[in-house]
Amino acid sequence: MFVRYIRWRHSRGYGVHSPFAFHIVQEVLSNPYDFYGFHDIDAVLEKERKPRHLRRKTRLLLRLANLMRPGAVFLSPKLPTVYGVALLAAVPHARFLSKNKNAEDADLIVTSDDYATTAFLHSAVSAHGKTIVLINQPRASVQMLLDDFKEGLVLYDRHDILAFPRPDMNRITYPILL
């Protein structure tokens, strides 16, 4: 119960002392305003009869991509198409990559548990200047990634991680509700 309370606090910015982390929380996690791509996300979820819990994650991804403005995006082909719709709405000019060997060229990496290998995840977390979104990771993978992460910001839930490796930033981790 206490951990859930801490996650709730951090996901609203309380107790977040890094200005960069606070900016991410305010603009991506707790932004109450509708974005232009939300209608597209809802339409795809309804058309493909996808579970409604994807709505929160895809909207979060749209807001993140809108804030970070990546030039190239690696998107796991195993993820539902609604993730691609969210990214395309946020950054229509970006190059979209879908092969592991091209992921190192991406500014934003979005992948899931059944696509990313341990070696791939380790190299992604070690790459500076990238934004990494890991969806539906097993708890053991989440803990391994938290242990491997050396510098930058990590926002994590039980199965999801937002990582921002930055060489000029001390390692900061916050448990939040994603």
Strand order in the sheet with 108-112: 95-97, 72-75, 108-112, 131-135, 161-165, 152-156, 172-175
d(C-alpha 176, C-alpha 54), whole Å: 17
pTM given for the model? 0.83
> What's the confidence (pLDDT) of residue 117?
67
d(C-alpha 170, C-alpha 40), whole Å: 38
Helix (H) / strand (E) containing 83: helix 81-90
- CATH for 2-175 (1.10.10, 3.90.1690, 1.10.1740, 3.40.50): 3.40.50
pLDDT digits (tens, 9 = 90+) for 69-82: 999 998 888 888 88
Helix (H) / strand (E) containing 72: strand 72-75
Residue with the larger pLDDT of the pair 1 and 118? 118
Mean per-residue pLDDT, 163-170 = 83
> What's the confidence (pLDDT) of residue 69?
92
Question: What is the pLDDT confidence band of residue 166, given thresholds at 50, 70 and 90?
Answer: confident
| CA angle (57, 25, 71) in 5-degree steps | 65
pLDDT digits (tens, 9 = 90+) for 16-43: 567 777 778 778 877 777 778 888 888 8
